[in-house]
Amino acid sequence: MNNAAGRFRDSGSARHFARRAGTRVLVSDVGGTNARFGLAEAGSRGVLVAGSVREFPVAGFASLSEAAGSYLQMQGEHVDLAVFAVAGRIVDDEVRITNHPWVISREQTERALGISHVALINDFAAQAMAITCLQRDDVVAIGPQAWRPFDARVPRTYAVIGPGTGLGVGGLLVRNGRCYPLETEGGHAGFAPVTVADLRLLECLIGRFGRVSCERLVSGPGLVNLYSAVCEIHGQTQETTEPSAITARAAAGDANCQRAIEVFCAAFGSMAGDLVLTHGAWDGVFLAGGLVPKLLPALQASSFRERFESKGRFSSALAEVPSLAIVHPSSGLLGAAAHAAELLHASNA
């Protein structure tokens, strides 16, 4: 699956831990703004302990281990295994959060928390693993194609993309009953304009950033960038720099905020459709991240699906692909718990 799985599989003490029924696992979903923690039962797949989920602002702690230690103390728990899903690229057992100063080392986190085994995975590897745990009420279809229940016996290829503080991108391969999450930094791929209006927006953003990645448009800060560009194009004053204020002003009838949200949704749809083409994700794209539930009505009413399907000679193929918004409030933790279950299964193999 990833390097963490290999390290865990080779550990004799991990195999001993895997046989201890009822042991709880610490799971966490760490982004550039908030860190969410929860507990999962080691013997279950993607099942969180009721009432265990807590969310802390990352700015309130000097390190991940400090935040995790506070959470464990609050819960009165000690664990032997933790899975941290982190918004950044893992290199040599270390990850630097893309949109926050924390640098996280697996070994240092183990020592600081007194935990035998820590696994670090990308946050969108966890979102990909969450696909294996989702139920019908956890997703809302954007477009005509409905949710198809997960079945590990059937080969599948999925993509997952989601805006929050940044733009996460991942994938999930299901082969021979096993699940293989793909850790990517696809949110930093270059933005591809589709319309003349897109080109005008891109020109504004190039003037500010130089190279313009997808994340510069489709993320919380990206929504602010779009609103600023819309105001610039129309020669009007930017009234806010907060994503929440933009959505509130749009609901109140502010034309520039409404346009920014429409462009956001259209660009999101285009990017999601591109992801199907690049990943071969013909079984579906899942929309994750903190902004998706908040923007769900806008996504449903926007040109998201039109731009998703508008892929020239592959438009008819894209029309058959589901695009599914994840509305489960803790999907990242579900995926981290599913990853823990995979690690424990592998250690017994």
Q: Which residues sit in the known binding site for ATP?
A: 28-33
Q: Which helix (H) or strand (E) holds 156?
A: strand 156-163
**257 φ/ψ angles, rounded to the nearest 5 degrees:** -70, -40
DSSP for residue 191: P
Q: Are strands 156-163 and 167-175 parallel, antiparallel or unpaired?
A: antiparallel
**266 neighbors 308 (Cβ within 8 angstroms):** no
**110 neighbors 191 (Cβ within 8 angstroms):** no
Neighbours of 190 (CB within 10 A): 10
* Cα torsion through 326, 328, 332, 336, rounded to 10: -120
Give the span between the Cα atoms of 272 and 26, in whole angstroms.
31
CA dist list (Å): 265 to 79, 171, 178, 191, 268: 41, 21, 33, 14, 5
Q: Which residues are annotated as a binding site?
A: 28-33
**Widest pairwise Cα distance in the chain:** 66
- Give the amino acid at 251: A
**277 neighbors 311 (Cβ within 8 angstroms):** yes
Query: How many degrees, rounded to 5, is the angle at CA 299 between CA 38 and CA 262?
Result: 125
Tokens representing residue 19 in the block:
């046989």
